[in-house]
Amino acid sequence: MSESTTPRVDGRSLRAEAQRESRRAEILRTAETVFAAKGYHGTRISDIIDAAGIARGTFYLYFESKQAIFLELIEQLLVELRGNVVGVDAGPEAPPIQDQLVETVSRIVRSVTEHKELTRILLREAVGLDADVDKKLSNFYLSLHEFIRYSLENGQRLGLVRDVDTDIVASCILGSIKYLLEERLMQDAVADPERIGRAVLDYNLRGVLA
Amino acid sequence: MSESTTPRVDGRSLRAEAQRESRRAEILRTAETVFAAKGYHGTRISDIIDAAGIARGTFYLYFESKQAIFLELIEQLLVELRGNVVGVDAGPEAPPIQDQLVETVSRIVRSVTEHKELTRILLREAVGLDADVDKKLSNFYLSLHEFIRYSLENGQRLGLVRDVDTDIVASCILGSIKYLLEERLMQDAVADPERIGRAVLDYNLRGVLA
Amino acid sequence: MSESTTPRVDGRSLRAEAQRESRRAEILRTAETVFAAKGYHGTRISDIIDAAGIARGTFYLYFESKQAIFLELIEQLLVELRGNVVGVDAGPEAPPIQDQLVETVSRIVRSVTEHKELTRILLREAVGLDADVDKKLSNFYLSLHEFIRYSLENGQRLGLVRDVDTDIVASCILGSIKYLLEERLMQDAVADPERIGRAVLDYNLRGVLA
Amino acid sequence: MSESTTPRVDGRSLRAEAQRESRRAEILRTAETVFAAKGYHGTRISDIIDAAGIARGTFYLYFESKQAIFLELIEQLLVELRGNVVGVDAGPEAPPIQDQLVETVSRIVRSVTEHKELTRILLREAVGLDADVDKKLSNFYLSLHEFIRYSLENGQRLGLVRDVDTDIVASCILGSIKYLLEERLMQDAVADPERIGRAVLDYNLRGVLA
DNA sequence: TATGAATGAGGGTTCATTCAT
DNA sequence: TATGAATGAACCCTCATTCAT
């Protein structure tokens, strides 16, 4: 008994675990498509299980509820997006700061483009759905806001940034990028991330005044 | 019946019409409160008719559906908000352009503050509800975008605005203001419209660079 | 407006109220039949509304839930049954006490017979369904128990009842009658309430010893 | 396969059979605990297999269904309870009949106390669950009823029991004991089996009349 | 024999909308 | 026009049982 059990258990549980994860991922992926196509409110569990080709109960084997799977998708996206935002490297051999900033914006644009549909939902329906989601979202934005503000203050210390209200300006910078993405997403046209990155940066740095 | 119809019709229908309108307005007003308190999805027709003190069927004498009344509220708000945005007066006796711009931003902030709850819903739940609402919303933003772009190009012709990508920059400006409002609305703190107006304007005009 | 409103309101509301009550009673009656036929767990809301010829939602217009309507039926029955148990009249012109006691038992038997099916359910499925029902049931039994005990103690004071453990004996008396009813209900044969009443009484008063 | 079957079958099948039985018994024992704690309707198969530490499918290797295992537990209990009820020994050297009767009642009380929770379920939830269970239950009660009736008639022949309706009185006696147990079970207080036994017997033999 | 992932029927409740009065 | 009782589609989630490994 033991000679077959031990390896079996290991082998099986490993394989099983892997399979479980892949199944879960598959459902998650399917759900992303369905949510993207129909929106959160328009998506019924039936839509997801039909698309995934699984039984009703199977869904609940992997996810607690409709809200839970949605929350997970949103979280995934938030983590990925947040990961794109990193501080600039001020070292002597680092690339020019402006280039680094452009690169950050470009990275975000690329991420968003990859998950265009889900981001669309994130921006549209995720807000106000559920306290949990709302919390995550506002934490996400807050974290970005704080990051930007911190960077501005740093810049001020270095004499690179002039004397502005960093709280309000951080919101403005965040908003300008966010809206740009929103708008472009709606129009299915996020072309040339770098060009957009440069334009945004130029605007944020120097304003519009001649 | 018929012999008394014609003369009566005018008097009656006028009064009736007026009454109808006032009742309609009353329901609309009530609905705004309820939607504001509970959100679109959280509001049931029962909530509205209870608050308005009317019968179930009566509601449907004035509005086609839950969505219809919501749409109407959203439209009203969009019209009011759009009305706040007007071109600057470049005449010789006009106040300084920057003051006019500050005044425009302040006006918007005040409007939004007046309809804080509904705006919150506009920003949160209105999007993705219905194709009609979506259309109206994107038209609204598009109109603002075009207005800003036009103003920038005007400014360029006058030598006031430097050579920027007006399309992208218009989005940035719009986004910076929108997000600021969103964020402040969520925090129940839209204090000092003018200070915010000045900070935004300063940022948009001159950027953050020292 | 007012001349038609006032009377209409009254007339209508009266008629409406009456109709509402009769409708409610009708559903209640139907539900009793269905519960009787299928038991609590075996009864689905669909069964009730099908039997009553009403729409799904209509049911919830009159009753909060499946449990609620069941609870109401049980309560009704408990009240009726409890009402049958009254103290004996010890006045000089009252009928013989034993006859009064026989009459009480007979009354209960008749009540139970009238609501045979529901009582069957009361005895079978009502217990352990829900804390509320359980509470009502144990209060019901407790009330009977206390009544019997009180009567026994009274009898002891009058020298009619010998020195027994009134607490335990009250349980025994209650149990003997309850089981008799249970058993007869199961067998669809509650014939001759008075004969049963006499036999039970004789047994309880004098025991089986020769 | 076949050449090794016969010799092995015995040894193996014996051990296997024993193991199977012990596993079965173990699950049964676990199920009793779970049913006792959560009631029939409140118990899910998951609860049982979790408590037993077996896999879902394994359960169905030993029992046909949730109902089947419950039925088996009920049967076990009924057999044990029934076993406590034995006729009195009327031989010359036997203890006094009344003492024997008291002992019988005490035995039942003790049995019930041992399986308090399961008995509670037997009395509450077992009824009306399933035709099979119902049949077993009514057979159980019927058997007790017949036993009591037979004893009464025997007593009548011996001149110990007076002329009563043995059918009805048998029900009364059974009912008085059953209810007493029910009531005490609900109150978690089955103290002093012998005292209860004596009181019940005294009541049943001599009634309450002074 | 043991496993546990998969199944899918089942059921209670909500609520926007209709319609007879 | 006003009423509010009636409607019934919609929908999520549970859980006993099956079956491939």
DSSP string, A164-179: --HHHHHHHHHHHHHH
Question: Of C137, C147, C174, whose CA–CA distance to D186 is shortest?
Answer: C137
Is D159's Cβ below 8 Å from some Cβ in C?
A: yes
Nucleic strand E interface residues, CB < 7 Å: A 16, 19-20, 23, 54-58, 60-62; B 43-46, 56-57, 60, 65-67; C 43-46, 56-57, 60, 65-67; D 16, 20, 23, 54-58, 60-61
pLDDT of res. D107: 85
Per-residue pLDDT tens over the stretch A72-123? 988 888 898 888 888 888 788 888 888 888 888 888 888 888 887 788 777 7
Contact between B168 and A208 using a beta-carbon 8 Å cutoff: no
> How far: A8 CA to F19 C1' (Å)?
19
Contact between D172 and C206 using a beta-carbon 8 Å cutoff: no
Structure confidence at residue D209 as a pLDDT band (50, 70, 90): confident
More confident residue, D173 or C18: D173
- Tell me the mean pLDDT in the region B183-188: 70
> How far: B61 CA to F6 C1' (Å)?
18
Q: Hunting for tokens 């009364």 — which residue is that?
A: D172
Question: Is the model's pLDDT at D98 over the cut of 60?
Answer: yes
Q: Which of B39, B160, B204 sits opposite A210 (nearest CB)?
A: B160
pLDDT of res. A100: 86
Question: Is the model's pLDDT at C10 over the cut of 70?
Answer: no
The contacts of residue C122 (CB under 8 Å, 6+ apart) are C74, C77, C78, C137
> How far: A18 CA to F17 C1' (Å)?
26
Contact between C203 and D145 using a beta-carbon 8 Å cutoff: no
b/e sequence D62-76, b meaning 16+ C-beta within 10 Å: bbeebeebbbbbbee
Is D207's Cβ below 8 Å from some Cβ in C?
A: yes
DSSP B160: -
B56: the nucleotide nearest its CA (via C1') is F4
pLDDT of res. C167: 92
Structure confidence at residue A9 as a pLDDT band (50, 70, 90): very low
Is B158's Cβ below 8 Å from some Cβ in A?
A: no
CA distances from A197 to A103, A167, C190 (A): 7, 22, 90
Top-ranked range on mean pLDDT: pick from A97-106, A167-176, C76-85: A167-176
- Tell me the mean pLDDT in the region B113-120: 80
**Count of residues making up chain D:** 210
**CA–CA min distance C5, chain D (Å):** 53
Contact between A172 and B39 using a beta-carbon 8 Å cutoff: no
CB D69 within 8 A of CB D28: yes
Q: Quote the CA–CA distance of B18 and C26 in Å, as a whole number.
A: 45
pLDDT of res. B190: 58
Which of B88, B208, B209 would you mutate first to test chain A, the one with the most A CBs within 10 A?
A: B208
pTM: 0.76
Structure confidence at residue D112 as a pLDDT band (50, 70, 90): confident
A41: the nucleotide nearest its CA (via C1') is F11
Question: Is the model's pLDDT at B192 over the cut of 80?
Answer: no
Contacts B196 to A, Cβ<8 Å? 168
Structure confidence at residue B102 as a pLDDT band (50, 70, 90): confident
Provide the mean pLDDT of chain A: 83
Structure confidence at residue B1 as a pLDDT band (50, 70, 90): very low
Nearest residue: Cα versus C1' of F21: A12
Provide the mean pLDDT of chain B: 84
> How far: C16 CA to F5 C1' (Å)?
9
Per-residue pLDDT tens over the stretch D116-173? 878 877 877 777 677 777 788 888 889 989 999 998 898 899 898 999 999 999 999 9
- Residue in chain D lying closest to C159 (CA): D210
Interface subset of A 45-104, CB within 8 angstroms of B: none
CA distances from D136 to A120, D32, D79 (A): 63, 18, 10
Question: Is the model's pLDDT at A166 over the cut of 60?
Answer: yes
Instruction: Name all chains with 3 or more CB-CB pairs below 8 Å to chain A.
Output: B
Question: Is the model's pLDDT at A124 over the cut of 90?
Answer: no
Contacts A162 to B, Cβ<8 Å? 206, 208-210
Per-residue pLDDT tens over the stretch B121-154? 787 777 767 777 778 888 888 998 999 999 899 8
Q: Quote the CA–CA distance of B37 and B185 in Å, as a whole number.
A: 14
C46: the nucleotide nearest its CA (via C1') is E11
Question: Is the model's pLDDT at B95 over the cut of 70?
Answer: yes
Per-residue pLDDT tens over the stretch B2-50? 444 444 556 667 888 888 899 999 999 999 999 888 888 889 999 999 9
Contact between A209 and B162 using a beta-carbon 8 Å cutoff: yes
Interface subset of C 169-188, CB within 8 angstroms of D: 169, 171-180, 182-183, 186
More confident residue, D194 or B52: B52
- Residue in chain C lying closest to D39 (CA): C128
Torsion of CA C180, C184, C185, C188, to 10 degrees: -170
Nearest residue: Cα versus C1' of F10: A44
CA distances from D6 to C85, D3, D10, D13, D207 (A): 72, 7, 7, 10, 67
Contact between C179 and D179 using a beta-carbon 8 Å cutoff: yes
What nucleotides of chain F have any atom within 7 angstroms of a protein Cβ?
1-20
pLDDT of res. A10: 52
The contacts of residue C126 (CB under 8 Å, 6+ apart) are C40, C70, C74, C133, C137
Nearest residue: Cα versus C1' of E18: B57
Per-residue pLDDT tens over the stretch C105-139? 888 888 888 888 788 777 767 776 777 777 888 88
CA distances from D44 to A56, D24, D75 (A): 19, 18, 20
Q: Quote the CA–CA distance of C115 and C103 in Å, as a whole number.
A: 19
- Tell me the mean pLDDT in the region C35-58: 89
Percent residues over pLDDT 90 in chain D: 29
Question: Is the model's pLDDT at D49 over the cut of 90?
Answer: yes
Question: Is the model's pLDDT at A128 over the cut of 70?
Answer: no
CB C147 within 8 A of CB C125: no
More confident residue, B125 or A69: A69
Q: Quote the CA–CA distance of D46 and D44 in Å, as a whole number.
A: 5
Structure confidence at residue D2 as a pLDDT band (50, 70, 90): very low
Q: Which of B152, B204, B210 sits opposite A159 (nearest CB)?
A: B210
Provide the mean pLDDT of chain C: 83
Contact between B207 and A210 using a beta-carbon 8 Å cutoff: no
Question: Is the model's pLDDT at A11 over the cut of 80?
Answer: no
Q: Quote the CA–CA distance of B167 and B149 in Å, as a whole number.
A: 6
Q: Quote the CA–CA distance of D97 and D101 in Å, as a whole number.
A: 6
Percent residues over pLDDT 70 in chain B: 90
Contact between C183 and D125 using a beta-carbon 8 Å cutoff: no
pLDDT of res. B3: 43
> How far: D55 CA to E3 C1' (Å)?
6
pLDDT of res. B182: 82
> How far: D55 CA to F16 C1' (Å)?
14
pLDDT of res. D126: 75
C68: the nucleotide nearest its CA (via C1') is E12
Which of C66, C172, C174 would you mutate first to test chain D, the one with the most D CBs within 10 A?
A: C172
Is C157's Cβ below 8 Å from some Cβ in D?
A: no
- Tell me the mean pLDDT in the region C89-116: 83
Provide the mean pLDDT of chain D: 84
Identify the weakest region by mean pLDDT among A111-115, A188-192, B87-91, B200-204.
Answer: A188-192
Nearest residue: Cα versus C1' of E7: A55
Question: Is the model's pLDDT at B159 over the cut of 60?
Answer: yes
Contact between B128 and A179 using a beta-carbon 8 Å cutoff: no
Contacts D169 to C, Cβ<8 Å? 199, 203, 208
Nucleic strand F interface residues, CB < 7 Å: A 43-46, 56-57, 60, 65-67; B 16, 20, 23, 54-58, 60-61; C 16, 19-20, 23, 54-58, 60-62; D 43-46, 56-57, 60, 65-67
Percent residues over pLDDT 70 in chain D: 90
A60: the nucleotide nearest its CA (via C1') is F13
pLDDT of res. D189: 57
Q: Which of B138, B160, B164 sits opposite A203 (nearest CB)?
A: B164
Nearest residue: Cα versus C1' of F11: A44
Spell out where chain B has E strands. none
D43: the nucleotide nearest its CA (via C1') is F15
Structure confidence at residue B187 as a pLDDT band (50, 70, 90): low
Contact between A128 and B127 using a beta-carbon 8 Å cutoff: no
Identify the weakest region by mean pLDDT among A117-121, C160-164, D61-65.
Answer: A117-121
B60: the nucleotide nearest its CA (via C1') is E17
- Tell me the mean pLDDT in the region D91-102: 84
pLDDT of res. D59: 96
- Residue in chain B lying closest to A180 (CA): B171
